[in-house]
Every structure is written in structure tokens, then in C-alpha cells.
Structure 1
Amino acid sequence: MAESETWNEAIAKELSFDCLGEPERPITEEMCANAGARYAAVFSRAEDMVKAALEVKRRNQDVFCKLPFCVTIEAEAFGADVSLNSLYGVPAVSHFRYERVEDIPTLPAMDFSQGRVHEVLRAASMLSEAGETVILNMEGPFTILGQLVPSKQIYKGIYRQQEKLRSLSRWITSQLVRYAREAEAHGVSILSYADPTVAAELISPQLYTELCGEISYEVLQAIENATEKVVIHLCNKTSVAFQKAGFCTMERIVPKAGVSYGEALLQAIQAPDVRCIGHGCIQRTYCPAGGCLYKLNLK
């Protein structure tokens, strides 16, 4: 690996690529039928999650099994009202529990003994015990809050309710750390972390650095400190802004020729000093690796 590098124009150009985002509908009725899973149950029952995860891996010729199949798991554990959206076919917030950021009271602790979060962890264990390498998608504090209150209220809060947002984020961080420990204990190898609600281009660089990026830094540092070997994979949208704001440096990892991004990632996480990977896209694990992987070192 090269020496750690801080942000510069050359790095900015190197890391510029279009984000694929989440697939519009990665799980279909036809795919579930082929996997022997019930469509609605792949979002709520471990046995069906496992069948669907294995089928997605097989179809994509991937090296990872990925869980869950929606972005509402954490928010629901904090009290969001979630139901299966008939238009898009995935769980979504049916209505916001709170109207404004200042209306949000103390949030509950995540309960890993019941509900869909329990089923996700159970599915991770089942896949891990079957010899699969598991990636768990984890949402950040602002994206979670954006499912409890309208997103426009989050942006208002960034300007007018910063202390309230910090307080809520500190609590959410403490629970995400607990979730990360549970995930590791249930066999998860990689946490795919993103907080797209506060993408850096949507707010000023100063606000990102002083509030949103700082909160992301606290989450990532806390997870690294609380876990033993689980690797955090930051989405490109999050990690580029994160390094640009000065919260980390990077080291390039050059993969073998002809491997997929997933194969290169699988090799990289074997190194004991790799705890955070960024500037890549977890949706591209079955695509050619191309250039480099990027180890991130938190400051």
C-alpha cells in the first residue's frame, strides 16, 4: 500500500464516477418463486431472506450474500411506521410519525430479540453458518431520522435545530454500535454504511464538516472501536465527502487483474489492518474491479 493520502484535485478526479444507487427493485416475484421464497416474507422472515439472498448471489455470480432488501430496518426499530408499498413492492414509511425534528422525543433502544431486525440477524447467522460471506446494509442517523420525520424538516433542522439533531444522532449512534456488534456476532463480515439523506452536495461544505460529517465520523469511529474485525464499506457518495472534509485519509489497494470488485474486496478484508473501505460501490461487487480499492484510515 502507498502512504496515506489526503484530499487533492488528483484524488477528486480519480474518484469521480456515477453512483449506481440501490436497484429499483432487486427482489421480484419471479425471482422469489425460483428461490422457493414467499415475496412479502423476504422482507420479514429469516428463512425467506436466506433463500432470496442466495438466489441474488447466484444470478449475479457474486461472492457475497447481502441483507436486508430494504432500507427501513433501523428506522422501524426506532418506531417508524413501515408497510409494504404496493407501487414499488418494498417496505416503505406509510406516514411520518413526527411532523418536525423538535417533535421527536427520546427514541427507544433497538430490540434485537423481536421484529424484522431480529429476523435479519437470524438470516445472517444462517448464511454465515452455511459458509457464506455476508454483507449487511446499515443506514446512518440522518437517513433513519428521514424516515421518522419529512426530509425537508431534517434540512431545516440542520440550520435551526443542530443541538437537537446532535442529541438524536448520539442516541442513534449508540444503537447502531449495538447493532454492529450483534451483526458481527451473527457472522456478518462487512457493514455497508451509507447516509444519503445528507449527501454533501445538498448542504454547504461548512455545515457538512461541522455537523453531518462529524456525526458520520463519530458513528464510524464508535463502530470500529466496538467491534473486533467487521469491515465497514462506505458508499462513494458518503466516503468522498468524508475524505474531502478531512475526516480520513486513503491508501490504494491494487487488485489482481481480471477479478470482480467483490473478489478484490473479499481479498482486502483478510488483512487485519483493514477496517474501513471507501470510494467504491457495494452494488458493483459482481462487476470488474477496474482500478483500485481504497482503504480509509480515520483520523
Structure 2
Amino acid sequence: MAKIIDFKCTYDNSVGISKEVTQKTDLKFPEAYTKFDSMAILSRELKKEDNANFCQLPFCHTVEGEALGGIVNLGDENIGPRAKDYICTSSQEILNLPEIDFSKGRISEVLKACKSLREEGENVVLYISGPFTIMNVLIDPRHIFKTFRKDPEMMQRIFDKFQNEILRFVLEAKKVGVNMISYGDSSGGLNILGPKFSEQVVEMFTYPLLKEIEEIIDDETIVLLCPKTSLALLGTEKAKWEDIDLKEVIKYPDACVKVIGRAKFAGQMCIKNKEFELKNGIIKTIKLF
């Protein structure tokens, strides 16, 4: 019987943007985090700073929560957007939140920035968060963990709501040409939920979500899973590693671009680890059962 093992994250789930990057622009903050053209400028500067092969958006994990009504501190040139005040005090209030309107607000600007960068020929990584990370913007996690323990049916309804929102986000990303989607939910990792609840999350949410995403994306898109998610899928026997030999020493982000069209999911390493090298030339992709 397999079991879930944890991935020791060294990036603290931070997308972020450094002061070194913001100082190279003439942009005003926090306004720059709210408009697509300034987002695109920041993303290109971050790519240069990191010597990366892709642009990344957004610069935080609060976009979905804000689009659901959450209150966000937009930050400044030193620190990006972050959660401010909770708007929900119960699980039912989470269910009562309206659907995301992708035509307005910061989430709309993120998609426009993705479209602009893709039209310029850039590879674009769009960071999409899982349910626990999104809920961190909306509600004190203690309420959700209590619901998970005492009312599994209510928890399933919450998961269904977030699955719907994430799938709609993926569809919007597809419309604007995003070719790399990063999915993770470190706020719902093994180190926080424990083995029992982590297994239930895979069964109730993660695996069904990714099976749906597998049907949505085409051969021009790859989903980059957080290694915590990859190991949860492997540990519950919902997926297996599938090796692709690229026959060259290659950095992990470059390998992810090369296997677009040959695999739907990668996830052996965090995409933020831009210097991680595949010395044997083999990238481990994820094959869902």
C-alpha cells in the first residue's frame, strides 16, 4: 500500500517579485499590480532577472480569492499583494459567494497580460491556486478544518464549488493562449492536513479536478504540478511517473517547455527552482490513471 510523502518546499509558496525587479521600472505601486500592461512589463523584467525561459503571472496567490470577494492588501514595490481581512465566518458563507467574473477586476487584467505576452511569443506560466490557498484569503482556516472533520458532505460541496471556479479559470487561460499552467495548494499540504485528510483531498478534489483539466487542455499546454501535489497523487495510487528522455543535460524549466505536446502534467520539481538540472536528460512527467 502506497502512502503520501511530503515534498520539502524551499519557496514557501511565494511567487512574488523582488525590489531589484521593481526598481528597474518606472511603474507606480501598488497600481502596477492592477493593470495588464504594467503586469506584462513586470513579468518580462522578472524573466530577465531570473534568466528564465518563461514569463510568470500573477505575482501572488490572492487573485482568485479577491475575485470571489476577498479583501486584499495590494502591497507596494517591496512586497506584492497579500490577504488582508477575512470576509466569511462559516462554510455556508463560502458556498454563498458569487461565481468569479473573469471580465473585470485584477483577474481579468492578469488574463489580458497573459494574452499580451503570448502574442509577443513568450512562454507564459499562469499560477493557479488550489482550494485551501484560495480560502486563506476568505476565511480563517480553523473553520474549514472543523468542517472537514465534522461535515464531509459540506466539505464536498465546498470542493465542488472551487473545482468549478478553477476549471473556469483554466478555460479562460486557454482562450488567451497560456501554454504553461502551474497548479499548487501548499496551504493544503501533507504537513498541514496530515495523512488522512490529505488522502481525502486527493479523492474528493485533486484527482477529479486534474482529470477534468486533462480533458480541457490541448497539446499546446502543460500543467506544472507542485511536487506536493504530485507526491499526493502517487501516494494515493492515482498517478504514476512516466519518463521522457530528452537526451541532453537540461534545466527543469527548459525540459517542461520541450515536453509540451508529449505530456499533460509535469511535477518532479518546483517550477520556481529555475536552476534545477536534469543531469541524465530524463524528465519525470505525471500520468493520471
Question: TM-score of the superposition, structure 1-length normalised?
Answer: 0.87
CA contact (8 A) 1:142 1:197 kept: yes
1:229-276 C-alpha deviation (Å, 9 max, x unpaired): 3211111112112210111111122344432111111111142xx111
C-alpha contact 1:50 1:123 (8 A) present in aligned 2: yes
Query: Which AA in structure 2 matches 1:80?
Result: G
- Who is 1:246 aligned against? 237
Amino acid at match of 2:123: T
Q: Give the structure 2 partner of residue 190 of structure 1.
A: 180
> Deviation per CA, 1:182-228, whole angstroms, max 9, x where unpaired?
10111111110011122123334333223444301111111221232
Partner Cα distance (1:33, 1:23) in 2: 23
Between 1:130-139 and 1:203-212, the stretch displaced more is 203-212
**Corresponding letter in the other structure for 1:289:** L
* Mapped partners of 1:105, 1:170: distance in 2: 10
- The CA deviation at 1:76 is 0.9
Deviation of 1:106 (Å): 2.1
Q: Contact (CA 8 Å) 2:40, 2:116: kept in 1 or not?
A: yes
Aligned length in residues? 287
Mapped partners of 1:286, 1:60: distance in 2? 9
* 2:257 paired with 1:269: no
From 152, 158, 162, the counterpart of 1:172: 162
2:277 is the counterpart of 1:288 = yes
Q: Please give the alpha-carbon distance, in whole angstroms, between the structure 2 residues aligned to 1:170 and 1:204.
A: 21
CA distance in 1, matches of 2:98, 2:270: 31
Which of 67, 71, 80 is 1:77 aligned to?
Answer: 67
Name 2:44's counterpart in structure 1: 54
Between the aligned partners of 2:264 and 2:198, the Cα distance in structure 1 is 23
Match of 1:40 in 2: 30
The 2-side partners of 1:281 and 1:141 are apart by 19
Amino acid at match of 1:237: K
Which residue pairs with 1:279 in the alignment? 268
2:224 pairs with 1:233: yes
Verify the 8 A CA contact 1:41 1:49 in the aligned structure 2: no
1:9-28 matches, within 5 Å, as 18-22=8-12, 26-28=16-18
Among 109, 122, 138, the alignment partner of 2:128 is 138
Q: Distance in 1 between matches of 2:30 and 2:89?
A: 29
Structure 2 regions of 5+ residues with no counterpart? none
- Can you give the 5+ residue segments of structure 1 that lack an aligned partner in the other structure? 1-5
**2:265 alignment partner AA:** C
Mapped to 2, the partners of 1:71 and 1:293 lie a distance apart of 27
Q: What is the alpha-carbon distance in structure 2 between the residues aligned to residue 203 and residue 50 of structure 1? A: 36
For residues 44-95 of structure 1, what are the alpha-carbon distances to aligned partners after superposition, in whole Å with 9 as ceiling and x for unaligned? 1111111111111111111011100010001111111112247972212211
